[in-house]
Amino acid sequence: MHSDRIAFLRELMAAICPSGYEREASQIWKAEAETFVDHIWEDRHGNTYGAINEGGSPRVMLAGHIDEIGLMITRVDDKGFLSFAGIGIWDPQILPGQRVRIRTEEATRLGVIGRKPIHLLEEDALKRGVVIDDLWIDVGARDRADAESMISIGDVAVLDYGFECLPNGLVTGRGLDDRVGAFVVLESARLAASRNPGAEVVCVATIQEEIGYRGAATSAFAVEPDVAIAVDVGHSTDVPSTDLGRRRDADVHLGSGPVITRGPYTNHGLTRLLVDTASSLDIPHQLGACAAETGTDTDVLQISRTGVVTGLISIPSRYMHSPCEMVHLDDLMNAARLIAEVILRVEPESSSL
């Protein structure tokens, strides 16, 4: 991947953008989209759109959600410690001892997630494991008044992890789920735009996926696409302790290409076009099967208005919903290349693939 693309991804990853608070990341995405799209806009919900070749046919929507899981401050006690709730699905075992960045109206504040030390835990607490109600955030306040001078109820926080490059094309960071999807849809549109597609392409940085695909529902209604492709992350199986996954799911490895999902929530004709295109152009790819809901924007894109021809591309990911998610840069670029090639191959009648 070119250094300028990595620089953009790094900037995007630095944003604090839990579900419902995506504007910082959306503005970074928008600024990048403005370098090549024909038309860019935002809706009142917070989704951000970039279009190329408006008026072309069919209309293809590319959706990558830009929100991440996060925390919300819910209470300040008399000693200045903060209670919090999770935004999105958390494994609470990850949280104790983590540093957090809290976004307030004025600044970003540093805090630490505290828990009673293991030496002092009663036996029943040890058995039940970590629960969020037993945790707090310490911002170094003297008392309630001091804490309230820094933090307000409803402020949001993320774990204090940055974006880092590892050997062999791997990168790690907080919130790769799913800013890599928002990155890929933009790169797909950039590649397609350079080749004058017949289709109209609308790439969307959707919001609030982690709390129920809400941005995809509203943006798909607005775009009214003939064809839609969602890009999200998917679980890899190339790590220890995945025996259950290996029995139930396809083998998925980082660096072996994006995963093309087959199942009732994805259109069979579009899936076939994705696979055939990847095979004919030797684009690395993997197959996945999902017998029910995909847990991605796909699930609402498919049933928008009178129905949309929908496909799902997943970026193999390790350690999902943790502060050290990991993906392979080659998988991102191969996903972008595959989607761009499919855009060039869809025909006006593709609304009934």
Q: Which of 197, 207, 245, 205 is nearest to 58 (CA)?
A: 197
Average pLDDT over the chain reads 94
Contact between 201 and 350 (Cβ < 8 Å): no
Out of 209, 210, 325, 341, pick the active-site residue. Answer: 209
Integer Cα distance of 208 and 18 in angstroms = 8
pLDDT of residue 245: 54
Question: Can you give the residue ranges of every domain in the chain?
Answer: 3-68+175-352, 70-159
pLDDT of residue 80: 97
- Burial class for 194, CB neighbours closer than 10 Å (0-12, 13-18, 19+): exposed
Q: pLDDT tens across 92-123, in order?
A: 999 999 999 999 999 999 999 998 777 766 77
Q: pLDDT tens across 211-230, in order?
A: 999 999 999 999 999 999 99
Whether residue 209 lies in the annotated active site: yes
Q: pLDDT tens across 306-322, in order?
A: 999 999 999 999 999 99
CATH code matching the domain that covers 70-159, chosen among 2.40.30.40, 3.90.1150.10, 3.60.70.12, 1.10.287.1260:
2.40.30.40
pLDDT of residue 351: 61
**Strand segments (E) across 244-308:** 259-262, 286-289
pLDDT of residue 146: 98
Overall average pLDDT of the 172-195 stretch: 96
Question: If pLDDT is split at 50, 70 and 90, which confidence band does 125 have?
Answer: low
Non-local (6+) Cβ contacts of 311 within 8 A are 227, 228, 229, 230, 260, 261, 266, 267, 270, 271, 274, 298
Overall average pLDDT of the 72-96 stretch: 97
pTM of the full structure: 0.94
pLDDT over threshold 60, residue 210? yes
The CATH fold assigned to 3-68+175-352 is Aminopeptidase (3.40.630)
